[in-house]
């Protein structure tokens, strides 16, 4: 049975800039592509790529330059020309690693070993959050909507000041969370009365209706329910929506995923996995209680799980998935006809990036296509079991163990090991060179180097060590 198409409400694409921030020219190309695919807006998570000023200057990225003020304004201008609203996402409680990692901010952590969670009791921390919001709003003239994050506030209640606060009768960690969020949203509403405020919902999922009603945030903030799994529990999600609605939160958002949620280190996404997630969200949307207003869906494309984790799939390899997910929402299904539409829109042979073909008839249909293809090509080699477990193959373990390397090894088999390791390394290096060349045309050099260091170097290093040991060993055993 087919679902109805996604109901009225914005289809917003998440642009996660806390890893692999695209060059601004590539962002323009992506906005053009997103517009053709049916996107209504961008949820932009700037993190350290925003040009913070004054006492917040230290928050700017150092691996590459943050975007300039003119670039931030020009991105908005290009988006506006395509009818897209930009919604900045500024974390205000959890996932503040990019702030709290800096030594001058260490004392603002809830607990010393949790880099992500802000101490809700310190006025200085609240002041910094408000300054971040102020600078972001100021650089977005006419801004209507702001996302304040507030997800995954780990270790809340574990700090010394929180323990003192919680010692008073009747106080809970839930109330501690809600009191900080209430302070943030009330400040925003006082400063910018017409601002719509969104927050992630996960910290509120287990709260009772009464707790939410008494929180002071009902009517001021709109929860964004996120679930990125292909087997999303429809009944449970609808029940959660009903709870928020009955607590007075009639305006809600959904958040799905088109990339960046399979595993923390995935290089190439599965389109079908993400389409399945959107099919489940369509079932949720078709089952919402009367009186509940779904304001839109944010299609997340995480570039890191958090500020301190490795890079997830880059945007180019995620575009077929994004196009397929958008068309699934628009048509209410992922039929062969819908797949064909995606294929035509991007000029590809398959909706799965691993099988999309390699024709370059119109590069504007699929910005970053060459990089996507080169990553798929390299990743297929990196995933070869023979290569990844080369150190543990029969010949290396049987005739070139640490014992043999320190004494004497069989020259005939050493030559065989050397030949195979050299072949793999040469092939890897050739493919890495292609990826690097394509990557630096769209991303900073620092991104290309990080991607290679994270995803390629750990595979190449053992091969190189074996070759180095062979060179040493050969000198010693050849007369």
Q: What is the pLDDT of residue 361?
A: 59
Q: Is the pLDDT of residue 58 over 90?
A: yes
Do 95 and 149 contact (CB within 8 A), yes or no? yes
Q: What is the pLDDT of residues 355-373, one digit of tens each?
A: 987 655 566 789 999 999 9
Nearest CA to 281 out of 240, 222, 339, 315 is that of 240
Q: What is the pLDDT of residues 394-404, one digit of tens each?
A: 877 877 888 77
Give the strand pairing for 196-200 and 222-226: parallel
- C-alpha 227: how far from chain center: 13
223 by Cβ neighbours in 10 Å (0-12 / 13-18 / 19+) ranks as buried
Q: What is the pLDDT of residue 230?
A: 97
pLDDT above 70: percentage of residues in the chain: 97
**Owner of token pair 């001021």:** 220
pLDDT above 90: percentage of residues in the chain: 84
Active site residues: 152
Nearest CA to 71 out of 26, 19, 128, 41 is that of 26
Q: What is the pLDDT of residue 360?
A: 52
Q: What is the pLDDT of residues 403-426, one digit of tens each?
A: 777 777 788 888 888 889 899 999
Q: What is the pLDDT of residues 173-186, one digit of tens each?
A: 999 999 999 999 99
Average pLDDT, the chain: 94
Q: Is the pLDDT of residue 389 over 90?
A: no
**From CA 119, how far away is CA 146, in angstroms rounded?**
22
Do 99 and 55 contact (CB within 8 A), yes or no? no
The residue-averaged pLDDT of 127-148 equals 98
At 478, the pLDDT band (50, 70, 90 cuts) reads low
Q: What is the pLDDT of residue 479?
A: 55
Q: Is the pLDDT of residue 12 over 70?
A: yes
Number of C-beta neighbours around residue 373 at 10 A: 22
Interacting residues of 338 by C-beta distance below 8 A, sequence separation 6+: 324, 327, 328, 331
Q: What is the pLDDT of residue 408?
A: 77
Q: What is the pLDDT of residue 403?
A: 79
Q: What is the pLDDT of residues 155-201, one digit of tens each?
A: 999 999 999 999 999 999 999 999 999 999 999 999 999 999 999 99
Q: What is the pLDDT of residue 363?
A: 65
Class of domain 10-352: alpha beta
Q: What is the pLDDT of residue 218?
A: 96
Q: What is the pLDDT of residues 231-254, one digit of tens each?
A: 999 999 999 999 999 999 999 999
Q: What is the pLDDT of residue 317?
A: 97
Q: What is the pLDDT of residue 1?
A: 61
Residue 63, token pair as written in the block: 């691996």
Q: Is the pLDDT of residue 18 over 70?
A: yes
Q: Is the pLDDT of residue 305 over 90?
A: yes
Q: What is the pLDDT of residue 393?
A: 82
pTM of the model as a whole: 0.94
Q: What is the pLDDT of residue 395?
A: 78
Q: What is the pLDDT of residues 119-131, one digit of tens each?
A: 999 999 999 999 9
């Amino acid at each position: 049975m087919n679902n109805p198409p996604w109901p009225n409400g914005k289809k917003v694409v998440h642009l996660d800039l806390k890893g692999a921030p695209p060059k601004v020219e590539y962002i323009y190309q992506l906005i053009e592509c997103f517009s053709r695919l049916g996107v209504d807006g961008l949820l932009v998570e700037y993190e350290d790529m925003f040009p913070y000023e004054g006492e917040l200057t230290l928050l700017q990225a150092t691996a590459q330059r943050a975007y300039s003020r003119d670039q931030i304004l020009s991105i908005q201008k290009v988006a506006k020309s395509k009818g897209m609203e930009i919604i900045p996402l500024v974390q205000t409680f959890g996932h503040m690693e990019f702030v709290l990692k800096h030594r001058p901010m260490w004392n603002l952590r809830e607990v010393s070993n949790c880099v992500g969670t802000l101490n809700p009791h310190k006025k200085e921390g609240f002041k910094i959050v408000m300054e971040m919001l102020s600078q972001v709003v100021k650089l977005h003239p006419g801004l209507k909507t702001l996302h304040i994050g507030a997800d995954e506030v780990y270790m809340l209640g574990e700090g010394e000041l929180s323990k003192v606060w919680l010692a008073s009768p009747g106080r809970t960690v839930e109330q501690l969370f809600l009191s900080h969020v209430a302070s943030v949203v009330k400040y925003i509403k006082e400063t910018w009365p017409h601002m719509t405020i969104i927050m992630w919902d996960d910290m509120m999922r287990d709260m009772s209706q009464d707790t939410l009603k008494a929180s002071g945030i009902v009517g001021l903030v709109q929860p964004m329910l996120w679930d990125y799994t292909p087997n999303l529990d429809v009944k449970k999600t609808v029940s959660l929506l009903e709870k928020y609605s009955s607590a007075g939160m009639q305006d809600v958002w959904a958040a799905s995923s088109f990339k960046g949620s399979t595993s923390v280190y995935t290089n190439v996404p599965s389109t079908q996995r993400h389409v399945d997630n959107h099919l489940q969200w369509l079932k949720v949307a078709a089952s919402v209680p009367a009186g509940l207003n779904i304001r839109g869906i944010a299609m997340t494309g995480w570039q890191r799980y958090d500020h301190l984790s490795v890079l997830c799939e880059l945007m180019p390899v995620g575009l077929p998935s994004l196009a397929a997910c958008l068309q699934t929402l628009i048509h209410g299904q992922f039929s062969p006809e819908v797949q064909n539409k995606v294929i035509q829109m991007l000029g590809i042979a398959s909706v799965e990036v691993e099988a999309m073909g390699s024709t370059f008839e119109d590069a504007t249909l699929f910005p970053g296509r060459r990089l996507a293809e080169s990553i798929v090509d390299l990743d297929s080699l990196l995933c070869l079991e023979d290569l990844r477990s080369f150190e543990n193959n029969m010949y290396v373990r049987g005739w070139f163990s640490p014992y043999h390397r320190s004494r004497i090894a069989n020259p005939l088999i050493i030559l065989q090991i050397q030949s195979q390791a050299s072949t793999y390394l040469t092939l890897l290096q050739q493919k890495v060179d292609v990826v690097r060349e394509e990557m630096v045309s769209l991303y900073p050099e620092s991104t290309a180097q990080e991607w290679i260091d994270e995803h390629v170097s750990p595979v190449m290093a053992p091969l190189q060590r074996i070759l180095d040991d062979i060179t040493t060993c050969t000198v010693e055993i050849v007369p």
